[in-house]
Amino acid sequence: MATISKENYLKAIFKLAEGNGKIVSSSELAIELNVSKAAISEMAKKLALQGYVNYQRYKGIKILLKGKKLALDVIRKHRLWELFLVNTLGLSWEEVHCEAETLEHSTSQFLIDKIDEHLDYPQLDPHGEPIPSKNGNYRSVINDIPMQECKIGNIYKVARVNDRNKDLIKYLSQINIKLNKEISVLNKLEFDGSVIIEVGGISHSLSEKLVNNIFLTKVKG
């Protein structure tokens, strides 16, 4: 049986590699998981011995097919739980990430398949992230663009938001930014990376940290 730490490591490696086999450095994985590089090295060696990753000291970590399968399984459980908690129990989108982080490790395949069926095999979670199917394929293709790359004067819809920071999601809710919400890009400030937008007739200045966690699709411009 997979341990929680192993699942979290593989999920983080998979996400940092963007699912395409990119080599992930120990430093970026340590930052992602908020652990020491020594801890990363120790776990990477264990995962390599078990056939989940290819690890070379000073070169980095490459996730292998066995590791991808486990990572996608955990991601599937996480995103289905998030959607279930929002759609069925009425939790807000800023509340569900932490709950799903716990539930993803203790859910049987039988139960997650039933949740998937109950939700009618959804494509996206509450934050716009694609949900893998039972066989590990994504049901929706991501074709959004980072807000930082948007053009002044265009109108976009919010397609996806990074869900790892509860306070970030909560703030977006407070200024009426949610999935599929139309926003107008008024200005981009090069010196600090912030973006001025308009939502529902009200303008807001979003910091670079916020901007880096929001992804859009173009409506017109």
List of residues 6+ apart from 71 with CB closer than 8 A: 7, 10, 11, 13, 14, 15, 63
Query: Using CA atoms, how far apart are residues 138 and 90, in angstroms rounded to an integer?
Result: 25
pLDDT at residue 141 is higher than 80: no
Per-residue model confidence (pLDDT) at position 58: 84
In which domain, by residue range, is 135 found? 72-141
Task: Specify the range with the lowest mean pLDDT, choosing from 31-40, 57-66, 162-171.
Answer: 162-171
The residue among 112, 141, 170 that closes a domain is: 141
Count: domains in the chain = 3
**CATH label of the domain that carries residue 33:** 1.10.10.10
Q: What is the pTM of this model?
A: 0.88
> Residue 19 pLDDT more than 60?
no
Domain check: are 82 and 57 in the same one?
Answer: no
